[in-house]
Structure 1
């Protein structure tokens, strides 16, 4: 890629990562509720899940998913069911209290760090539209004359993941600070938990009724 096309590609990646979607909304809300550490673990999980989409696009599986209505429907329903599961957990979540006199401004999350990391991975992997997006978006920036298409796809995916990681980390920092204020109000936490559940239900419905 020329420096100009690389600049355009990375700029598009950043814009796509910023635009509202299930992943960045998930990062925003969970960071606000559980603090910086949880937010960064979820971001790492989401980026790990993007490696899965890179793999299936590179080996051509995403093309099969795009061609099969049954496979696409099963995957999107699986993703919608997972979002509904997250909605149920958020709706019944209890307020998190800080220990008296504690210096650490992030309260311990209900789940372990490993569980939040896995949640991020599954959140990304269970959305077939990410693979279809990679399949439609990445090849537009490849050039068979310059070398292996598979290598170029891997490189482009790596740049996309790096761009998404930086954007998501920015979201974590912003919402993590906002979340510190929420720790002082049980009512505010309950309202945000209920709002989170409503958002997840909406995202589940959007995914379930989405088309290719």
Structure 2
């Protein structure tokens, strides 16, 4: 991979990461509802999940797995069910705040790890991410520049690093904006409803995608 390819790939990656999508919206909602630490925990989880997709794409595993209709449908359904489960948890959290303090109101290690794990599962169980890497990475790979698998791993690593930086910056800014404009229980509940709706919409979208 030469510098020109790397620069072009990085510019495209930053633009794609900043586009409104489930990952960045999830980071924003957690940062607004909770804190920048919660948003960062989600960001690290999402980027850890990317390692699975990048490795699978580089080794050709994704092409084999998603070439099989049963495997694709299984991952898709599991991902959608997980998103519906998160929607239910978010809805329950809204109602628990009415009667008492939320169980996830703090930023203890258990809460941050739970969000980190949630980010991993959301990413790994989303077949759209694998399909994205299968379509995106090969555009910047050339067989006459060495090992194709190694090039894809390097490009995937570059994508992961820029996504991690952008997600953490977004988490910090979203929390600061939330502190300025979304103070009070009523505003937090509205954000909670938005998050619940987001999970439901993403789950339904996932069920509708095809290979």
Q: By the TM > 0.5 criterion, same fold?
A: yes
Where does residue 108 of structure 1 map in the other structure?
A: 106
Task: Determine if contact 1:13/1:163 at 8 Å carries over to the other structure.
Answer: yes
Where does residue 16 of structure 2 map in the other structure?
A: 16
Gaps of 5+ in 1: 98-106
Secondary structure at the residue paired with 2:188? helix
- Cα distance in 2 for partners of 1:205, 1:53 equals 22
Where does residue 39 of structure 1 map in the other structure?
A: 39
- Matches of residues 164-203 of structure 1 in structure 2 within 5 Å? 164-181=163-180, 184-203=183-202
TM-score, L = length of structure 2: 0.90
- Cα distance in 1 for partners of 2:9, 2:92 equals 41
Gaps of 5+ in 2: none
CA positional deviation for 1:184: 3.6
Task: Determine if contact 1:33/1:182 at 8 Å carries over to the other structure.
Answer: no
CA positional deviation for 1:23: 0.8
Where does residue 141 of structure 2 map in the other structure?
A: 142
- Cα distance in 2 for partners of 1:183, 1:5 equals 42
TM-score, L = length of structure 1: 0.89
CA positional deviation for 1:66: 2.6
Judging changes above 3 Å, is the alpha-carbon distance between structure 1 residues 109 and 179 closer, same or farther for their aligned structure 2 residues?
farther
Count of residue correspondences = 204
CA positional deviation for 1:170: 2.0
